[in-house]
């Protein structure tokens, strides 16, 4: 069973703070990792993906990957109330016809 | 570009009724997917189609059938709906690794 685990939260941070979202995965064959944001009642939208060990930055978002520890994280700098949403982590195993395995998501609330 | 579209947006069914959820994409993607999302759970893959003319089961295929009508369209059919199929259904399409999602269909089975 390929699993992706996330703390369900809720995670609350004050406006302007750094929000740290974490994800672990069980399948060592996973090669790429995705972070999606999902507002209540809406569909998931891609924030960013990462496939190499280390950090990848895109604006206020930084994804971090450590394949040895099977750990992925997403940092959101200068958090805004508009960042309040559920964040889904997903792992892709190219050997599985490009199927994504999703975690259950972490609910983030940014307090004004 | 509309991206990925789904119809209907909402549907209420009685147990035993059948229905088809429609999905279309205009991004010329080869791969298409059907997921369901239940409260407190992530997205679970029902069926996928790696290319036109092929379909394969995902994690939770029981009670569903799919048709890849052409490159643009991928439909999901519930032959005899059950209350356990009450969920939000998302269609997605992808080129390479990134999947793009439709707006979803909210289904209630009474």
**pLDDT tens digits, A14-29:** 999 999 999 999 988 8
- The Cα A34–Cα B45 span in angstroms is 16
Long-range contacts of B48-52 (CB under 8 A, 24+ apart): B48/A97, B48/A99, B49/B74, B50/A97, B50/A98
Tell me whether B31 touches chain A (CB under 8 Å). yes
Q: Do B102 and A43 touch (CB under 8 A)?
A: yes
Contact of B100 with chain A, judged by CB distance below 8 Å, is answered with yes
Of B29, B43, B55, B103, which to mutate for an interface test with A (greatest number of A Cβ within 10 Å)? B43
Closest CA to A62 of A81, A39, A79, A45: A79
- CB nearest to A105's CB, from B42, B48, B104: B42
pLDDT exceeds 80 at position A50? yes
Chain A residues inside the 8 Å CB shell of B41: 104
Smallest CA-to-CA distance from A33 within B78, B99, B46 is with: B99
Q: Determine which of A50-64, A82-96, B63-77 has the lowest per-residue pLDDT on average.
A: A82-96
* Residue B61 at interface with chain A, using a CB cutoff of 8 Å: no
pLDDT per residue as tens digits for the range B80-109: 999 999 999 999 999 878 899 999 999 999
Banded model confidence at residue B61, pLDDT cuts 50, 70, 90: very high
A98: nearest CB among B90, B94, B100? B94
A76-103: average pLDDT: 88
Between A9-13, B65-69, B93-97, the lowest mean confidence (pLDDT) is in B93-97
Do β-strands A106-111 and A11-14 pair in parallel, antiparallel, or remain unpaired?
parallel
Is the pLDDT at A96 greater than 60, yes or no?
no
Q: Does B94 touch chain A (CB under 8 A)?
A: yes
Cβ–Cβ of A99/B45 closer than 8 Å?
A: yes
| Least reliable range by pLDDT among A74-78, B11-15, B39-43 | B39-43
* d(C-alpha B73, C-alpha A47), whole Å: 26
Has residue B40 got a pLDDT over 80?
Answer: no
The alpha carbon dihedral of B21, B26, B31, B36 has a sign of: negative
* Comparison of pLDDT for A14 and A94, the residue scoring more: A14
Predicted confidence (pLDDT) per residue in B18-33, tens digit? 999 999 999 999 999 9
The pLDDT of residue A99 is: 82
Per-chain mean pLDDT for chain A? 92
Residues A44-60 have a mean pLDDT of 95
DSSP string, A7-38: ----EEEETTSPEEEEEEES-TT--EEEEEEE
Residues B40 and B24 sit within 8 Å (Cβ to Cβ): no
Structure tokens at A45: 């939208």
User: Does B31 contact A34 at a Cβ distance shorter than 8 Å?
Assistant: no
The closest alpha carbon to B58, from B43, B46, B67, belongs to: B46
Q: How far is B110 from chain A (nearest CA, A)?
A: 21
Q: Check residues A63 and B97 and name the one with the higher pLDDT.
A: A63
Tell me the pLDDT band of A2, cut-offs 50, 70 and 90: low
């Amino acid at each position: 069973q390929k699993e992706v685990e996330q703390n369900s939260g809720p995670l609350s941070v004050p406006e302007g703070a750094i929000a740290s979202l974490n994800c672990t995965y069980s399948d060592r064959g996973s090669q790429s990792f995705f972070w999606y944001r999902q507002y209540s009642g809406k569909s998931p939208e891609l924030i960013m993906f990462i496939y190499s060990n280390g950090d990848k930055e895109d604006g206020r978002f930084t994804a971090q990957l450590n394949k040895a520890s099977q750990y992925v994280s997403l940092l959101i700098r200068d958090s805004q109330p508009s960042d309040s949403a559920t964040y889904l982590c997903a792992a892709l195993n190219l050997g599985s016809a490009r199927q994504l395995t999703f975690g259950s998501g972490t609910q983030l609330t940014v307090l004004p | 570009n509309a991206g990925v579209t789904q119809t209907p947006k909402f549907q209420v069914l009685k147990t035993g009724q059948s229905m088809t959820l429609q999905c279309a994409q205009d991004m010329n993607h080869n791969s298409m997917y059907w997921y369901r999302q239940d409260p407190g759970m992530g997205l679970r893959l029902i069926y996928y189609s790696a290319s036109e003319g092929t379909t394969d089961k995902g994690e939770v295929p029981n009670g569903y059938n799919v048709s890849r009508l052409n490159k643009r369209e991928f439909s999901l059919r519930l032959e005899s709906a059950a209350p356990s199929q009450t969920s939000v259904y998302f269609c997605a399409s992808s080129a390479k690794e990134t999947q793009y999602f439709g707006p979803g269909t909210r289904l209630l089975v009474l």
